[in-house]
Amino acid sequence: MEAGVSQPWHKLIGDYGVSVSLEHFGASGSASALFKEFGFTAENVAAKAEESFKKAHAK
């Protein structure tokens, strides 16, 4: 999870990794509102982790 670009993380998360990141700039608002809008919530991060786990164990 990175409140910034995910590009540096790709080599670490591998083929089955899933990133939660912010790939653009320019939005304004409170941190809590923006994090919710862009998927930085416990529910979304847990869903992405489950997605990654399923991808890794599908083979």
pLDDT digits (tens, 9 = 90+) for 27-57: 888 989 988 988 889 999 999 899 889 988 8
Partnered with residue 18 across adjacent β-strands are none
The one-letter amino acid at 37 = E
pLDDT of residue 46: 94
pLDDT of residue 10: 78
Tell me the residue range of the domain where 51 lies.
Answer: 7-57
CA distance 48 to 2: 13
Contact 35, 41 (CB under 8 A): yes
Is position 48 within any domain? yes
Domain count, the chain: 1
Give the residue, 22 or 32, on which the prediction is more confident.
Answer: 32
The one-letter amino acid at 55 = K
Is position 44 within any domain? yes
Is position 1 within any domain? no
